[in-house]
């Protein structure tokens, strides 16, 4: 029996936001058609996965009704601790349907799975089991923020979340700034939306005045806002942050 494939399915970047974008505006027709043909899923949250599939169904009819979709959730500890390190979580049992011949879709809440979201353990398991992978095209907030920042796109790093404790966060900011200024490598990071204001304030307090800071908020939404200036300019004209709008931060020279 031939094995199914694991599709890496992107989701729109409007999860948790007040407004939604039209799927046709952010996802190619080929991606929507491929997703509509999948009936087995691995996701972070079944409820939000069904909501996304309902949006797809309004454009491209699903191969099976929502009630018949086979949806498995990644364990809660994967969300908390991450699953990017080998041996941390064995996702092979989740891929039993692919071994039996069915295609499976891997889905995160927003953007691409396994980038700043769980899913790498599933991808790794697919490689181990000899299951072919098919990454579909869709929005990735990190790259959208980078290309719109004016910072170095030839040498960059995504460093995830910064520490929440003030002193540790300031120390990490100084470390990343030193690396960016010394090597020219752009440093990208994110934060939970309701802590965006605290992170932005810490950046303006900690960074040197000539360091360039870019903040891209609400990417692909009608309310999208992208600003890239020196810290000195940010301090001269601070802005309020939307506690519901996801943002990507970048620093460099």
The series of mean pLDDT values per 10 residues for the chain, 253 residues long, is 94 89 96 98 96 97 97 84 71 97 96 92 95 97 97 97 96 98 98 93 97 96 94 90 84 97
Structure confidence at residue 101 (pLDDT): 97
SS (H, E, C) the chain: CCCCCEEEECECCCCCCCCCCCHHHHCCHHHHHHHHCCCEEEECCHHHHHHHHHHHHCCCCCCCCHHHCEEEECCHHHHHHCCCCCCCCCCHHHHHHHHCCCCEEEECCCECCCCCCCCHHHHHHHHHHCCCEEECCCCCHHHHHHHCCCCCCCCEEEEEECCCCHHHHHHHHHHHHHHHHHHCCEEEEECCHHHHHHHHHHHHHHCCCCCEEEEEECCCCCCCEEEEEEHHHHHHCCCCCCCCCCEEEEEEC
Residue 214 is assigned to a structural domain of this protein: yes
**Are 168 and 147 part of one and the same domain?**
yes
| Pair 127, 26 in one domain | yes
Residue 1 falls inside a structural domain: no
Q: What is the pLDDT of residue 4?
A: 98
Q: Which domain holds residue 197?
A: 141-252
């Amino acid at each position: 029996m031939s094995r199914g494939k694991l599709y890496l399915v992107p989701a729109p970047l409007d999860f948790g936001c007040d407004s939604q974008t039209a799927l046709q505006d952010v996802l190619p027709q080929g991606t929507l058609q491929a997703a509509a043909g999948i009936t087995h899923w691995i996701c972070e949250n079944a409820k939000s996965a069904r909501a996304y599939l309902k949006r797809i169904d309004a454009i491209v009819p699903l191969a099976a009704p929502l009630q018949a979709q086979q949806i498995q959730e990644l364990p809660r500890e994967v969300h908390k601790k991450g699953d990017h390190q080998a041996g941390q979580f064995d996702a092979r049992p989740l891929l039993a349907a692919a071994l039996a011949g069915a295609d499976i879709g891997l889905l995160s809440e927003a953007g691409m799975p396994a980038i700043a979201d769980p899913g790498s353990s599933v991808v790794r398991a697919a490689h181990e089991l000899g299951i072919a992978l098919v990454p579909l095209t869709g929005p990735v907030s990190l790259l959208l923020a980078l290309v719109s920042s004016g910072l170095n796109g030839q040498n960059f790093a995504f460093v995830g979340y910064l520490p929440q404790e003030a002193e540790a966060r300031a120390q990490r900011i100084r470390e990343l700034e030193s690396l960016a200024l010394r090597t020219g490598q752009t440093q990208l990071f994110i934060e939970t939306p309701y802590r965006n204001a605290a992170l932005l304030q810490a950046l303006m307090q900690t960074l040197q005045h000539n360091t360039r800071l870019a903040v891209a908020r609400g990417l692909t939404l009608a309310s999208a806002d992208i600003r890239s200036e020196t810290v000195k300019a940010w301090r001269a004209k601070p802005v309020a942050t939307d506690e519901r709008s996801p943002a990507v931060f970048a620093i460099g020279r």
